[in-house]
Amino acid sequence: MLKDGYHDIPAGKIAAIVTHLEMREQVMMRPLIAPEGLTLETVKQPDCEWYRDLFMRIGGQDWLWFSRLELDDAALGAILNDPDVELYALMQDGVAQGMVELDFRQPDECELAFFGLTAQMIGQGAGRLMMTHAIARAWARPISRFHLHTCTLDSPQALGFYQRFGFVAYRRQVEIADDPRLSGGLPRDAGAHVPILSQD
């Protein structure tokens, strides 16, 4: 058990407080009309490079998303092509600007594995459209729990956004990982809100 007080994070590492949230029954949402020029489309068997590009534009540069960038094509493809993983892309003028990834691989539940928009889409109502769709799709299968997690590396708006849609926090953890900017997984200028504690 952690003692109260400050705890050092080693140089070369990043740390985040992770909040786990869940929904135990479907929250009924009114259908939304997509903002003009935007569509939410199912993506079948996505190309790994296409996925990495979208992943990076949504979360890599601003929020230090790195987990999927560390996977090779075989490992990433195995996830994305699994019949129990559903991927949706928010499209604008033929370019993906957001993603909803639903993971049903654990029996009786769905994880909102990834959810996000590129910076230029914020404030246009696209997030509400995507979450309404995510909730409907998750509960279209016979599940008893829809869950996700967010952390202090994410947008400070994320936690409140999820709670407004009916997700309830039930667990908190501290996650420590190698800083992906030092390994070359992300550019050095990514995640400007998190200073690099270099080992140099």
pLDDT, tens digit, for every residue of 9-66? Answer: 999 999 999 999 999 999 888 877 888 899 999 999 999 999 999 999 999 999 999 9
- What is the SS3 assignment for 82? coil
Q: pLDDT value at position 92?
A: 95
Number of separate domains in the chain? 1
Q: Which domain holds residue 146?
A: 35-183
Residue 113 lies in a domain: yes
| Run of H or E residues at 21 | strand 13-23
Q: What is the mean pLDDT of the chain?
A: 94
Residue 50 has, within 13 A of its CA and on its CB side, a CA count of: 16
Q: Tell me the per-residue pLDDT of 70-115, one tens digit each, with 9 for 90 and over.
A: 999 999 999 999 999 999 999 999 999 999 999 999 999 999 999 9
Residue 84 lies in a domain: yes
Give the residues across from 19 on adjacent strands.
150, 172
Residue 172 lies in a domain: yes
d(CA 117, CA 174): 25
Q: pLDDT value at position 198?
A: 73
Which CATH number does the domain housing residue 131 bear? 3.40.630.30
Residue 22 lies in a domain: no
d(CA 177, CA 10): 10
Residue 21 lies in a domain: no
End-to-end CA separation in angstroms for the chain: 31
Give the residues across from 146 on adjacent strands.
23, 110
Q: pLDDT value at position 22?
A: 98
**Chain Cα centroid distance, residue 74:** 21
Q: pLDDT value at position 200?
A: 60
- List the structure tokens of 65: 């998303």
Q: pLDDT value at position 163?
A: 97
Residue 83 lies in a domain: yes
Residue 110 lies in a domain: yes
